[in-house]
Amino acid sequence: MSPEAINALAVQSAGPAIGVFLGVLVGLGLRRRAGKTDGLLGNSVLLTASAAGGAALLVMMVIRALIG
């Protein structure tokens, strides 16, 4: 797969990834304020939300590549 095709897949898949990132960021931010910090990567809400958004981006890229 060419770099241009990978770039196009990433751009097409960015919407769901941004949505997951923002949702996790808000949800874990509220959870952390309540004192529940278990399950955070490096004890950081931002790092955990970034990891979730990156995983969502990869999953969406694979789905879009398989579907066409």
pLDDT one-digit tens code per residue, 55-64: 999 999 999 9
What is the DSSP-derived secondary structure letter of residue 68?
Answer: -
Predicted confidence (pLDDT) per residue in 14-34, tens digit: 999 999 999 999 999 999 999
More confidently predicted of 68 and 42 = 42
pLDDT cut 90: percent of the chain above it: 71
Q: Are 48 and 28 in contact (CB under 8 A)?
A: yes
Average pLDDT, the chain: 92
What CA–CA distance (Å, rounded) separates 5 from 18? 20
